[in-house]
Structure 1
Amino acid sequence: MKILHIASGDTWAGAEVQVWTLCTELVKQGQTVHAIILNPGRLAEMLAESGVTVTVLDERRFGFAKLLEKIKLELHRWQPDVIHTHRQKENILGSLANKMTISVPGFRTVHGAPEFTPSLKQRIQIGADRFTGKRLQHGIISVSDDLTQKLTGQFPASKIHTIANGIDPEAVRKDASAHDGEVAINDQTNSLHVGFVGRMESVKRVDLFLQMAELIHHNANTEHPVHFHLFGGGSLLEEHKSWATRHNLNEFVTFHGHTTIIRSWIARMNLLVMPSDHEGLPMTALESLALGVPMVTHATGGLIPLLKTAGCNGLVEKHCAAGYAERVEALLKAPPSVALPEAYTAARNANEIVALYQSALTG
């Protein structure tokens, strides 16, 4: 089967990791995979290293109409059996180009719920995105039951298919070990280490993580002192750094910024905390469990079945600093043994998606 994925690649976050993981697994399974990426960068590079044929159409150089024409040319040239898109702009471009040329089955993955209040321009794009999903694509892949419920108000229920994200746990552990020597933690105080991984944006609730850190530090309820690590950049990074400084947290809170070896850092943590307002099924959570690192998370989205299946008693209903502090202290005192459940592997994810492709081709 010849499969075309269309993605942005403007950053390296959960959605991009899942695109790369899926395409890599499809290649392993003997599928022929091509990807159109709208920004040069890490996603395009890693896909190429995985055996995917990559075409970069830089959206910084081409407007919407030019991109549409170039994608149409790629479809004529490559003649894929299935087109799979990711994110709004890519959904619109891919489904329009497909309709205007080869008209093969088209799918999209919705990786999470919207995180921002849309502007007028964004509302127009959302409308176009929903139209193409309803009229021009065969199916919508949702990564969690919670997200599926939200999508049923936007698309016909018959078009929505819930397929959880997946990763290759062996590859994750190998990647973490490969960069272990680049991770430096000062353990002179015999501290426990608690991490946050994500973009510094309001939906991720870094404010709750920092308030939680302050509470745990002052409570001193753990056998050893606790050091808190934040990995990631974003528009609120400097604001959060300033808050930490004003509250005298700098001795036990470290902002590491963006890193390309995050799996090695996760492996060095005693615990990972994810206090987001809402999530789909974040790849960081899968990576953490694959590395045997327990998690404390907001009881939301795909995190609920994931942590329950993994036997990790880290779900927090009380979405406030005190709620997270209480659960973190409990898990640091009695850390559970965790592993990635079989239902969340890359092989299982790819198998279910290929079955969906095949049903569209033969139906």
Structure 2
Amino acid sequence: MKILHIASGDTWAGAEVQVWTLCTELVKQGHTVHAIILNPGRLAEMLAESGVTVTVLDERRFGFGKLLEKIKLELHRYQPDVIHTHRQKENILGSLANKMTISVPAFRTVHGAPEFTPSLKQRLQIGADRFTGKRLQHGIISVSDDLTEKLTGQFPANKIHTIANGIDAESVRRDAEAHDNDVAINDETTQYHVGFVGRMESVKRVDLFLKMAELVHHNARTKHPVHFHLFGGGSLLEEHIGWAASHNLNGFVTFHGHTNIIRSWIARMNLLVMPSDHEGLPMTALESLALGVPMVTHATGGLIPLLNAAACNGLVEKHCAEGYAERVEALLNAPPKVALPDAYTAARNASEITALYESALTG
């Protein structure tokens, strides 16, 4: 099967990791995969290394109309059997270009719920995105049951298919080991290390993580002192750094910023904490479990079935600093043995998605 994916590639976060993981697995399974990426960067580079034919159409150089024309040319040239898009702009461009040219089955993946209150321009884009999903695409792939429920009010229910993200656990472990020497942690045997991985934006609730760190430190209920590590950048990074300094947390809290070797850092943590207001099915959670690192997370979205399947005992219903502090202390004192559940492998994810493609082609 010839499959074309269209994605932004402007960052390297959970959605981008899933695009790369899926395309890599599709290549492994014998499919021919092409990707149109709208920004040069890590996603385009990683896809090319995985055997995907990559075309970069830099959205910083081309406006919407020019991008549409160039994507139409790529569709004529490549003649894919199926088109699969990711994110709003890419959904709209891919759907319109497909309708105006080859009209093959088209799908999108919705990786998570909206995180911001939209502006007028964004509301217009949301409207166009929903129209193309309803009228111009064959199916909507949702990564969790919770997200599927939200999407049912926006798209016809028979178009929505819940397929959980997947990851190659062995590949994650090899990647972590490859950069192990580049990770330096002090007092690894006399301290516990608890991490946060994510963008410093309001939905990720870094404020709860920092308040939880303060509580755990002052409670002193764990067998060893705890050091807290935050990985990631974002618009609120400086604000969070300032808050931590003003509350005298610098002795036991470290902001590492963005890193390209996050899996190596995760592997050195005793525990990962994810206190987001809402999540779909974050790749970081799958990576953490693949590396045998337990998690404490908000009981939301795809994290609920994932952590239940992993018998992690880390779900928090009490979405406040005290709730996270209680669970962190409990898991540090009695850490569960965790692994990635079989239902969340890259091979299974790709097989379910290709079955969806095939049903559209034969139907």
Q: Which amino acid aligns with 2:242?
A: S
Distance 1:126 1:188, change over 3 A: closer
Q: 1:168 aligned to 2:172?
A: no
Q: List aligned pairs for 1:78-157, cutoff 5 A.
A: 78-157=78-157
The CA distance in 1 between the partners of 2:237 and 2:179, in whole Å, is 25
Tell me how far 1:33 sits from its aligned partner. Answer: 0.0
The CA distance in 2 between the partners of 1:331 and 1:346, in whole Å, is 28
Q: 1:246 aligned to 2:246?
A: yes
The CA distance in 2 between the partners of 1:293 and 1:205, in whole Å, is 21
The CA distance in 2 between the partners of 1:217 and 1:44, in whole Å, is 42
The CA distance in 2 between the partners of 1:30 and 1:139, in whole Å, is 23
The CA distance in 1 between the partners of 2:183 and 2:91, in whole Å, is 38
State the match for 1:356 in structure 2: 356
Alignment check: 8 A CA contact 1:106 1:136 kept: yes
Task: Percent identity, please.
Answer: 90
Q: Which amino acid aligns with 2:170?
A: E
The CA distance in 1 between the partners of 2:362 and 2:326, in whole Å, is 52
State the match for 1:27 in structure 2: 27
Tell me how far 1:43 sits from its aligned partner. Answer: 0.0
TM-score by length of 2: 1.00
Q: Which amino acid aligns with 1:200?
A: M
Alignment check: 8 A CA contact 1:189 1:225 kept: no
Q: 1:44 aligned to 2:44?
A: yes
**1:51-88 superposed Cα distances (whole Å, 9 cap, x missing partner):** 00000000000000000000000000000000000000
Q: Which amino acid aligns with 1:251?
A: G
Tell me how far 1:187 sits from its aligned partner. Answer: 1.1
Distance 1:14 1:345, change over 3 A: same
State the match for 1:232 in structure 2: 232
The CA distance in 1 between the partners of 2:20 and 2:134, in whole Å, is 26
Q: Which amino acid aligns with 1:203?
A: V
4+ aligned runs moved over 2 Å, structure 1: none
Q: Which amino acid aligns with 1:8?
A: S
Q: 1:185 aligned to 2:206?
A: no
- Aligned with 1:210: secondary structure? helix
Tell me how far 1:149 sits from its aligned partner. Answer: 0.0
State the match for 2:334 in structure 1: 334
- Aligned with 2:214: secondary structure? helix
The CA distance in 2 between the partners of 1:74 and 1:4, in whole Å, is 10
The CA distance in 1 between the partners of 2:276 and 2:2, in whole Å, is 37
What is the total number of aligned residue pairs between the two structures? 363
State the match for 2:194 in structure 1: 194
The CA distance in 1 between the partners of 2:294 and 2:353, in whole Å, is 28
Q: 1:17 aligned to 2:12?
A: no
Q: Which amino acid aligns with 2:46?
A: M
**1:283-318 superposed Cα distances (whole Å, 9 cap, x missing partner):** 000000000000000000000000000000000000
Unaligned runs of 5+ in 1: none
Q: Which amino acid aligns with 1:133?
A: G
**1:209-237 superposed Cα distances (whole Å, 9 cap, x missing partner):** 00000000000000100000000000000
State the match for 2:213 in structure 1: 213
The CA distance in 2 between the partners of 1:217 and 1:342, in whole Å, is 36
The CA distance in 1 between the partners of 2:188 and 2:21, in whole Å, is 37
The CA distance in 1 between the partners of 2:314 and 2:188, in whole Å, is 28
The CA distance in 1 between the partners of 2:205 and 2:91, in whole Å, is 28
Q: 1:308 aligned to 2:308?
A: yes
Tell me how far 1:189 sits from its aligned partner. Answer: 7.3
Unaligned runs of 5+ in 2: none
TM-score by length of 1: 1.00
- Aligned with 1:19: secondary structure? helix
- Aligned with 1:61: secondary structure? coil
- Aligned with 1:33: secondary structure? strand
Tell me how far 1:253 sits from its aligned partner. Answer: 0.1
Tell me how far 1:114 sits from its aligned partner. Answer: 0.0
The CA distance in 1 between the partners of 2:181 and 2:2, in whole Å, is 40
